[in-house]
Structure 1
Amino acid sequence: MPSLKFSRFFSQPEVFRGIDPDNLLSLLADHAAALGLLGLKLPDGADAAAIDYERLMALLMEPDKLPADLREAFYFIHEMATDEGMACLLEAAEDAGIEIVGEPGPTPGDVAVQVWLRDRELLERKHAEQFLQNARSFQSFGTDRSPVPKYRDPTPRLAQMKKELDDFFEKKKRGRNTKIFPYVREDSVWFLVRHGDPFKREGAIDDKGESYGAYYWPEKFDVLVLDPTDGELRINARNKGEKKKYREVFGRHLYNDEGFFSVENKYTLEPLREKGEDAIAPIEGMDEVLLIEVDFFWGGSFAEKEIRKADDVFGAYKARNRTFPTKPRIVKACFRVTFSDSDRPRTVTIKPPNEAQYTRDADSLIVEKWLKARGFIVKKGKAKHEPTAKTALVGT
């Protein structure tokens, strides 16, 4: 199968906001000319804090526009800018004689940037060894409208959407700090929704060693993906209340119907039973797909469940001369997918009726195509109109 390089994009911009501006500017400096042509003019070194983060975030959602070396740098730094990654890199840096600096102390992102700038190969090696699994779960909500109507351009409606979400989050004691960033991609529209988490009061230590109180709303980003063809909204958010509000607000403003995203029955795992290994054949962009876990619900008076795990479940059944169970309901399946743009496989989990879990948000683009091609998605009505916008929209 031919190799297909997919765009990597980053839906957690808070990672890059957590990097000291001086370190971030050092990372960007060699690409100042190219970034300037993309609308990101870098400040002078003495004014690093003036970096245009909103323009940078917009570019991170369309990384094909970035210089290849910078795109790779962002990818590895993004992956390793965690508490676990920081601990791993600090140990590796000490062993390699790399001094990590930062006043009053470096963040995980600062550590990742400094290691990258001093020894790129070291960071790549530690990433390969650790490969932190930060899976993200999406729930899908479709429509019973057939054919699916054309969605309305969100740009002129962003201010009202923000107000309605601000009203909701304010009632939840999270402040009026909502901001919506829409990005139109080839087959979908991605929305990053920034809002505050519950207010925090924390003890902190200043650069003089004095204790003081820090008061703030932590920054939180939720991810929503609109599939205009199927009239479906995929949501990554913390709780049912937030998901319900997103369905109402986005349904009302995109389709003039707050109950538009009402259908929760998206996934079926029956193809595993009906087609066996043929059901997991890879499509373009995938080199291999293996079923590594399948969960059955037998029910009965004891609510019996059965979990089968193996490096290759179908292979294990064959080796023991067993067949796939015909009676119990299949409630969960985990797949190990090797994508054509990566040597290391990643896990995808599907739980009917509407939950999918990915290691990276960007994996959902090809995985959704694979699920549809192999019959794991319940067929629904199609849209009359295909999405036509090709450029990213950035709203306030």
Structure 2
Amino acid sequence: MNKFIKICSVVLTSVVLLSIQSAHSQRIKDLADVQGVRSNQLIGYGLVVGLPGTGEQSPFTEQSFKTMLSNFGISMPANLKPKIKNVAAVAVHADLPAFAKPGQKIDITISSMGSAQSLRGGTLLQTILMGIDGNAYAVAQGSLVVSGLGAEGLDGSKIVINTPTVGRIANGATVEREVKSPFMSGDHITLNLRNSDFTTAKRMSDTINDFIAGTARAVDATSIKVTAPRDAADRVSFLSMIENLEFEPDSPAAKVIVNSRTGTIVIGADVRLLAAAITHGGITVTINEQQEVSQPDAFADGETEVTDNSIIDVNKDDSRMFVFNPGVSLDTLVRAINEVGAGPGDVMAILEALEQAGALRGELIII
């Protein structure tokens, strides 16, 4: 029962210890991106029709409806205001992947811009998707898939499940224009680390040079410039080999991430504490780190090993003091706090106090 209580205490405090394996090789493609090989955002404005009375009746929807009719040679009197509740004005957006070619399909998301109650059952009419440069790159059209649901009673009561005013169309847009990529320009390609680190950039550069001598150079903590063939086929083959090379990235900087809204705390493995004493609550926690020699039996196979032993002594008295030796990891401190069932708020207060006192060897980030 005591073991079960301890496990529950760890879960309820919402403290997550981030364990990092130092000796773990990773591929270059999992750590870096090729400069210039990126997606582009597209956006458009259109109309969804065929709604079962869940559309909207607004001035810009009426104007869009009249404009659409005029494109088909149908003109409406200026003083005539159509009553349309099966039409909704929507914004359509999508991501155009790198190297997408004309004729390929991409997914799109449709969101209501006005007071439409639901887009369920609607059909998006032909909508031009434009890039930031004002050029049209894709054309979207099709029937929406809406996961949300809404219902309203005569007395005004209503229920909404998920978001019925947002839908998606898989392969709902056709690419009409290719975005030029700088991948084939120049004599170099640049690899950008997703997480900047000088040591990792140097190790990546050395790994590439070990594969092909003199081809890579770390420009800064993010970029590694690599000499590449100018022929398209050779450059693709070259990059295919480079991105699958494995090396050991450096461990990240010691950080403690605190989410003040959810009470979640993520502690990096390299975070350490200096000698300090904390007054908090009505408990005394003493932490000692000892090393013990473990020897096998006289006639048993095995080797003598030195093991670490953390001794945690918890006393609920009036001294109200946390005492621990310098160099103790936050893992040990968190386990000590869990022993007495402290909540996430207590852990946050202790971490902030340690950081202010200069006893926390790591960056404290509160989000």
TM-score range, shorter chain: under 0.3
Q: Which is higher, the Rg of structure 1 or of structure 2?
A: 2
Question: If the length of structure 1 is used for normalisation, what is the TM-score?
Answer: 0.23
**As a proportion of its length, which structure holds more strand?**
2
Question: If the length of structure 2 is used for normalisation, what is the TM-score?
Answer: 0.24
**As a proportion of its length, which structure holds more helix?**
1
